[in-house]
A and B are shown apart, each in its own frame.
Chain A
Amino acid sequence: MRRLAVLFSALLLSVAAVAQAVPANEAHPFLRWSRDPGISGMAGTGLTSMQVSPAFAVFSNPAAIAMMDGLGSVKASYSLYAPSFTKTSNIAVGAAFRPVKRFGFAVGYVHQLGYEKIDEFAPYDFAVGGALSVGIGEHVALGVNAKYSKACFMKDFSSSAFSVDILAQVRFWEGFNAAVGVRSVGKILEDSDMSSLPSSLAVGLSYRYVTGIHSIEALLDGDWFFSNNWGVSAGFSYGIKEIGFVRVGYRFASESAAVPSHLAVGLGLKYIGLSLDVSYITLNKVIGNTFQIGLGYSF
């Protein structure tokens, strides 16, 4: 356990040291967008949520898989992204499984399409990945995501990358969770492209309290990007009878951070394993009016 913790810390520091030299502008920012409307409704505060299933853990926190309730969860979502600006749409599918205690895995895929054509070519991008999660004792879990992403801008002109997320999650006592790790650490695969991925040191905290038919969850996620940008998101969820949920969140980020500042709201329904979530983003000129809807099943 101790050796594992030292190894994990060393890995974080070494990645941070290399990232100092990268250029300010970051490629593949879509790696940092939440594909789960349950998390998007809380401004992306999804690292430590207990209330939202980890079906999209490939795009969030893989460590959560080993701590999930049940054997597994699958989810699909659709986003109408920035309709007043770019009019693109996203579809994403994800699945997480915990076949045995303290071990889980997940897969996920996201595809964005609908850009305006450039020279008779419609740009698109996608990402596909898998995750592994291992529990260490009752209160600690480690997780790793590996993703391949590609953005096609013009005919014969694209950018592809390989990246990993490495996070650890700790459950202190009932209701309190914390996570820490690095996200989107990797490399642009084209040698001629000197730009960097939106790599960050990520920290998440949450507290969930259930009393009677009511439940609340408060979350706080923070990212320090290696490009010297930063972002902090705060989210809140209220649930009744664990069936209906109302969510709200706000992200405050530096101007060039991969995910800009915005206000998000969301609703969720959950019944006998099925879940339906929607989110809406506002207070941002570009990504304002982004709408996301997702359907999931947990078992």
Chain B
Amino acid sequence: MKKIQAILLAFLALSCAKEIEEHSAAGTIEEGIKPEEPISVDYDRTIVPGAAKIYFSDEIVAEIEACEGEGLPVTKSSELGGMMAELGITSMERLFPYAGEYEARTRAAGLHKWYLVTFDEKVPVTKAGEDLAPVKGVEFFEPVRKIAPQATNDSYWSNMWGLNNSNGYNVDVLPVWEQYTVGNPNVVVAVVDGGLQLDHPDLAWNCLDSGHYNYVTNSTNIVPDSDGHGTHVAGTIAAVTNNGKGIAGVAGGDYADGRRGVSLLSLAVFSGTRSAYSFETAIKAGADKGALICQNSWGYVVDTDDNGQISQSELNAFISEHNNPDRAFTQAVDYFIKYAGCDASGNQKAGSPMKGGIVLFAAGNDNLQYGPPSNYEPIVAVGAIQSSGTRASFSNYGDWVDICAPGVGIWSTVPTSVASSGYVLYSGTSMACPHVSGVAALLISYFGGPGFTCDMLKEALLSGARVIEASTGSKPIGPLVDAHSSFLYMIAGTPDPVTDYTASAMGNSISVDLVANGSYGYMAAASKSRSALESMDPSNPGSNIITERFVSEEKVSGEDISIVLRKLDFSTDYYVTVVSYGTSYTTPAPIKQVRTGVNHAPVINLNPGIGAFSQWMSIDLPVEIYDPDFNDLDVSFTTNGRARLEKDAAGVWHFILNCQLANPGSYTAKITARDEYGLQTEKSFTYSVKENERPFLNIPFDEYWLTSPGESLTLDLSEYFSDPDGEPLNYTAAVIDKDILKSRIDGSVLTVTALENGLGHVKVVASDAIGDKAVESFPVLVRPVSEKVTLIPGTTVGNELTILAALSRQETEISLISSYGVKVFSMKEVCSAYEPVTISTNQLARGIYYLTVSYGGNSYKYTIVKK
């Protein structure tokens, strides 16, 4: 689906450089929401002119990459190339650049298909979007938004209440420093923000030596933003603690004790007074550069007229059109969460303290119940409290805000170019967010290791947070982050050791089976050396020990767990153990000796449902293909038909056939499964597709009688129609005589309602999935019980007179005589109300006539007027 986001948004640009006396500006924002204020919303003011992000199809990307190889500027696609020439495209390059060893996973995530294009600034971005939308190969078009730090401009700070507030409304980090950790340089926090002053006296010790990047200038030259916003955020996370200078970061180490804090990685999307095109690029790059935490204190704004106030009109327009983040943005966030801390294969990187990453965002300072991009569900959205524990008046709010932290009057580092002292006081959710990032960094620092995942971190972070006044009410901003409580939550989760398990070999694999004891994870280990196993450090087992893990996030006890250690040597003695872990590892279970066996051929068990299919069917049948020895299989499938064999995310193979695309006939197929040692199994079989058969009327419709307008008749059409192929039928119905009846169909249930007296007909169509139809109709008489003959149109007739006589078919005599005794018409015929007699009165002279209808021994006489 193509989506052109032609309505253009902006990011809030609330300067962080103002002092706290000016923080009443937050109140000004609140007052600035003027309900129903008519304004002209100019979205062009909130986006970058002459630039856009385009997501191309695979075909176009292949063309572009081929053209790049040939040194051509854009693409061979004549349509796209022509359009780009018309727009005056001046550059086009990947939004997420070539990622080296991580290129494969970059492509797997589809990020290589995003391109950043720049074009003539005279061409409105909306027009560019409209022009490019219909071009084949353009799947998404997104403007480049203007972005700005998410902070307010507030006054001086008298103390660091966010870390040590006497009334308890702080992040409660002191016990953690004292008992557990002050940070670990292995934990890298990517600060996607203004560039950091890397040589700031209170930061330099905790900044990485390399890897920083400026996405504004596309260089490694890090230049702080003009307000020092990025440096301020970084200081809250990891300003050096106990160094006798300035402030203390949440995870800034202990200078006096020689312990470094977590590492800061500056990914600058603001530099000086400029913003980057490619903030998504920075998020994605964070994962590739080894960061585990992605700290973001910026967000969208709706101040389209750039007057510093947000009217109700601006807000309504924003919410109605753009209550979700951009697609490129969400893909970048997903990438970070999935691949941070992982190697190119997607496994936890050796030495990385966590598998996967966490992305934190400031909730925003608009005092509004909206949040893009921070309301994107995988993100941890952070609201701000003031020192009294109540919600900061500017903080955005809502159920989507996950957690809150101190955000009013926060002292932190800034470049000396901003403040000669190197410190200043800011307010905003920008200031709250790094508090949470710092606590997350502490948790990783202490609990990180093999098997520690971003989900465990997020659970600890959110579960340990405290519910305070700001967490509830009409404008909730989540619980208050609490470092100590989160640590206690993790420690309380230390499991019991495994004491009982079984180990059995199948081929060159050993299956370790046990009953879960409520631990988070279980690691089975095997080695040819018993002594190696006895001295194993579970957090770093060593190269001569083969391990495999099982993670039970629900930590359910009693669950049967089977962990398979694979790719061992055949017919070899191994020593095996298993160890449970949560926030730390337990004592390994007693070692057992197991001898592996010989190789076994792969097994293919066809699904018995594979055989003859009807043409309407869409077949998806699981096929059991496995290696008894748990080795990897190379599975191939050949057929002369249209079936295919696919493996799902759970590793189950499926026989898939869309019969509607297949010609009727019989087909052969063969599945070949070969294990990595060359042993293979083949299974040949046939399947067929039967030609579609039309649905038909299985039970004839009756003739139906409704006795008054408003009365209804209900029929379940599935009882009347059948399909020889057994496929579900789709029903439609139409009333031929719309003055007399109306119909409504709900699934297979048809309801016919009388509107006025007369004979109506309902036409019913039953369609099968192929589109073959059965069409039937039935009559519905609307006539009171007391009425024996119905005349249509009544006693005043024009060119035609229809006579509905008896309810059942019987001989009926009809005569029409003029008022002077001239017999005009007479007949005797077998008819009924459902098989009416129609007299053409077209040739009848104007006048009064006497109609007599006789049946069943009774005569009914009517005076009619021919007009």
Contact = CB atoms under 8 A, between A and B. Distances in A.
Contacts of A287: 820-821
Nearest to A29: B820
Contacts of A258: 820, 822
Interface in B660-687: none
Given A85-B850, A154-B796, A193-B846, A30 B820 contact: yes
Contacts of A159: 845-847
B818 interface: yes
Contact of A286 (B817, B845, B847): B817
B863 interface: yes
A118 B795 contact: yes
Of A85, A284, A286, the most chain B CB neighbours within 10 A belong to A286
B867 interface: yes
B820 A33 contact: yes
A43 B820 CA distance: 15
A286 B821 contact: yes
Contacts of A257: 822
B843 to A, nearest CB: 4
SS class, residues of chain A in contact with chain B: loop
Nearest to B864: A118
A284 B846 contact: no
Interface stretch (A9-17, A20-28, A167-175, A232-240): A20-28
A195 to B, nearest CB: 3
Contacts of B848: 115, 118, 123, 153
A153 B789 CA distance: 23
B99 interface: no
Contact of B821 (A82, A195, A196): A82
B824 interface: yes
A86 B819 contact: yes
A69 B35 CA distance: 106
Interface string B773-812: 0000000000000000000000110000000000000000
B847 A23 contact: no
B844 interface: yes
A248 to B, nearest CB: 20
B865 interface: yes
A151 B847 contact: yes
Contacts, number: 77
A181 to B, nearest CB: 22
Interface in A266-299: 284, 286-287
B821 A27 contact: no
A23 B824 CA distance: 12
B107 interface: no
Interface string B215-226: 000000000000
A259 B823 CA distance: 10
A175 B850 CA distance: 43
Contacts of B850: 85-86, 286
Given A118-B865, A154-B865, A27 B847 contact: yes
B843 A260 contact: no
Interface centre among B817, B821, B867 (most CB of A within 10 A): B821
B865 A260 contact: no
Contacts of A123: 848, 865
B864 to A, nearest CB: 9
A153 B864 CA distance: 10
A195 B845 contact: yes
Contacts of B823: 255-256, 260, 286
Contacts of B821: 82, 85, 259-260, 284, 286-287
Interface in A99-113: none
Given A23-B845, A25-B843, A157 B867 contact: yes
Contacts of A260: 821-823
A182 to B, nearest CB: 19
A195 B846 contact: yes
Contact of B824 (A193, A196, A256): A256
A116 B863 contact: yes
B829 to A, nearest CB: 18
Nearest to B818: A29
A256 B822 contact: yes
Contacts of A154: 796, 865, 867
Of the listed residues B796, B843, B846, the one surrounded by the most CB atoms of chain A closer than 10 A to its CB is: B846
Contacts of B818: 25, 29
A92 B1 CA distance: 88
Interface in B818-867: 818-824, 843-848, 850, 863, 865, 867
A287 B820 CA distance: 7
Interface string B227-238: 000000000000
Task: Give the interface centre of A25, A116, A193 by most chain B CB atoms within 10 Å.
Answer: A25
Contact of B843 (A23, A30, A190): A23
Interface centre among B817, B819, B820 (most CB of A within 10 A): B820
Contacts of B846: 27, 151, 153, 157, 159, 190, 193, 195
Contacts of B867: 153-154, 157
A153 B863 contact: no
Given A85-B850, A151-B846, A153-B846, 13 more contacts: A23-B843, A26-B822, A27-B846, A85-B821, A157-B867, A159-B846, A195-B844, A195-B846, A256-B823, A260-B821, A284-B821, A286-B821, A286-B850
19 contacts: A23-B845, A29-B818, A29-B820, A30-B820, A82-B821, A85-B821, A86-B850, A118-B848, A151-B846, A153-B865, A154-B865, A154-B867, A193-B846, A195-B845, A255-B823, A256-B823, A259-B821, A286-B821, A286-B850
Interface of A: 23-27, 29-30, 33, 82, 85-86, 88, 115-116, 118, 123, 151, 153-154, 157, 159, 190, 193, 195-196, 255-260, 284, 286-287
List 9 tightest A-B contacts by C-beta distance, closest first.
A195-B845, A286-B821, A27-B845, A29-B820, A287-B821, A23-B843, A159-B846, A25-B845, A153-B865
